[in-house]
Amino acid sequence: MSTLDESYLVGLIGDGVIPSLTPPMHEAEAAAHRLLYLYRPIDLLEIKRPGTDVGELLRAGRDLGFNAFNITHPCKQLVLEHLDVIDPDAQRLGAVNTVVIRDGAFHGYNTDRTGFGRGLSNGLPEAKLDRVVQIGVGGAGSAVAHALLSLGVRHLVLVDLDPARAAERAEALSEFFPDRTIEGRSTADVPAELAAADGLVHATPVGMHQHPGLPIDPELLEPRHWVADVVYRPVETELIKAARARGCATLDGGHMAVGQAVDAFRLITGLEPDAARMRAHFLDMLERGL
């Protein structure tokens, strides 16, 4: 027999999650801790359920003995109303990607935010954080912007193909970080903004296998800039390669992908995961084309 306390049953709820590397990342780390731990993708497209069913699925999961869930697109906002307790930072961000079930109650967290933040402080400990330009303010970008401000960025310039979205996000963030300067800008402003910035964070799909290319003209990068990407398929994006070639310190998107899993694993098990081991496993899976 295996009870809630003796083993772990975890799921990832979202659209198209079957190829996700998060389940094998958790399972391998759990095996290293000698835990009984099963992590299943629950693909809404496969089971033909809309994102609005996330609450029903959570409750069914609880009743069937799940310990926790990761939640992804399109449910990170939809899940909020079904939770009993929400971490204050996840509440401010308005998105939850990790739900831990404790005594039948749903506790929500956002480990995209903490995972990116940890990746940046560990991977680029020298990064100057006075003035940062961030391109892309969708789902991943919102978590990243929060993380940057939590880490102490004084002046954050948000750029998006949709300038209205960038302006809205800047306004919303300014409410929670009133002592910072947060501005929404259009892509045409990138050259002038980068000339004054310490670092660049990229959070659009540009550079993914399906969207090859560069989100900016690499000539705009100078060796004093640090550059962080969130795209991790491939982990060596054109942006990361170009930035490195121009002498910039870089942080690949694998840091956020692994960081969210590290922080979720800790929340679910209460055990300290080995982040370096999880990153090595993640990179190995990418190398093997998984």
Ligand X SMILES: O=C1C[C@@](O)(C(=O)O)C[C@@H](O)[C@@H]1O
- Which partner from the list ligand X, ligand NAI, none does 23 bind, CB cut-off 5 to 8 Å by kind? none
Given the structure tokens 């789902």, which residue do they identify? 139
- Our finding on whether 114 is near ligand X (CB under 6 A) is no
Contacts of 71 (CB under 8 A, 6+ apart): 12, 13, 14, 54, 79, 96, 97, 98, 99
- Our finding on whether 112 is near ligand X (CB under 6 A) is yes
76 in catalytic set: yes
Binding site for ligand NAI (CB under 6 A): 135-141, 160-162, 165, 187, 203-206, 208, 215, 230-232, 253, 256-257, 260
Q: Which of 48, 76, 128, 241 is catalytic?
A: 76
Question: Can you say how many angstroms the Cα of residue 200 is from the centroid of all Cα atoms in its chain?
Answer: 16
Identify whether the C-beta of residue 194 lies closer than 8 Å to the C-beta of residue 128: no
Q: How far is the CB of 130 from ligand X (least distance, A)?
A: 29
Identify whether the C-beta of residue 118 lies closer than 8 Å to the C-beta of residue 262: yes
Give kind and range of the element (H or E) at residue 14. strand 8-14
- Residue 241 CB-density burial (10 A; 0-12 exposed, 13-18 middle, 19+ buried): middle
Identify whether the C-beta of residue 150 lies closer than 8 Å to the C-beta of residue 290: no
Identify whether the C-beta of residue 152 lies closer than 8 Å to the C-beta of residue 128: no
- Which partner from the list ligand X, ligand NAI, none does 39 bind, CB cut-off 5 to 8 Å by kind? none
Distance, CA of 258 to CA of 223 (rounded, Å) = 27
- Which partner from the list ligand NAI, ligand X, none does 147 bind, CB cut-off 5 to 8 Å by kind? none
Which residue's CB comes closest to ligand NAI? 138
Q: Which of 67, 97, 114, 134 binds ligand X (CB under 6 A)?
A: 97
Q: Which of 70, 114, 134, 142 binds ligand X (CB under 6 A)?
A: 70
Q: How far is the CB of 46 from ligand NAI (least distance, A)?
A: 20
What six digits make up the tokens of 60?
């069914």
* Site size with ligand X, rule: CB under 6 A: 11
The 135-164 contact track toward ligand X, x by CB under 6 A, reads ------------------------------
Smaller CB distance to ligand NAI: residue 101 or 204? 204
- Our finding on whether 20 is near ligand X (CB under 6 A) is yes
Identify whether the C-beta of residue 282 lies closer than 8 Å to the C-beta of residue 25: yes
Q: How far is the CB of 185 from ligand X (least distance, A)?
A: 26
The phi, psi pair for 16, rounded to 5°, reads: 65, 35
- Our finding on whether 72 is near ligand X (CB under 6 A) is yes
Task: Note the residues at the interface with ligand X (CB under 6 A).
Answer: 12, 14, 17, 20-22, 70, 72, 97, 112, 260
Q: Which residues are catalytic?
A: 76
